[in-house]
Amino acid sequence: MTRTRGRHDLAVDGHGDTDGPCIITNGTFDSADNWAGDDVEWSIGSGVASCDGTQSSNTLLSQIPAASVVTGRRYLVCFEVTAISAGNVRALVGGTSGGIWRSATGKYREVLISSGFANVYIQGDADFVGSVDNFCTREIY
């Protein structure tokens, strides 16, 4: 069962649990506020976060201040790949719990269990050239 509220879906998992509020600030990328990239390959403008492909290895775009995820808890991550011309992109919750690498435009949602660091990231691989929008992470209760 899925209910919609605002720009992001609320999910009900197989155990009847619902998810909490979005813990991401400025996931619509209306400005560069609350985001920091590894280097200059990430930029935020026109309502999207874009990676230009100049990175030589995987690159992270981080929520600042940290989204404060808790190790071992489950999180629903929703995001949209609005453009992609090379490489792959995915969400990370807790630094080491990575989602599925995405190589096509579309809206994606997946459940990840937090591990490691207490933050949420968007990760592009060494070849990623594209844009992401509507990024939201919710703890599943």
Q: Which one-letter amino acid corresponds to residue 33?
A: D
Residue bearing tokens 């200059």: 40
17-74 tens-digit pLDDT: 567 899 999 999 999 999 998 767 899 999 999 999 999 999 999 998 888 888 899 9
Domains of the chain: total: 1
Residue 7 pLDDT level (bands cut at 50, 70, 90): very low
> What is the per-residue burial (b if ≥16 Cβ within 10 Å, else e) of 80-95?
bbbebeebbbbbbbbb
Which candidate, 122, 113, 114, 100, places its Cα nearest to that of 26?
122
The pLDDT of residue 108 is 97
Domain that holds residue 99: 2-140
CATH code, domain with 58 = 2.60.120.260
65-105 tens-digit pLDDT: 888 888 899 999 999 999 999 999 999 998 777 899 999 99
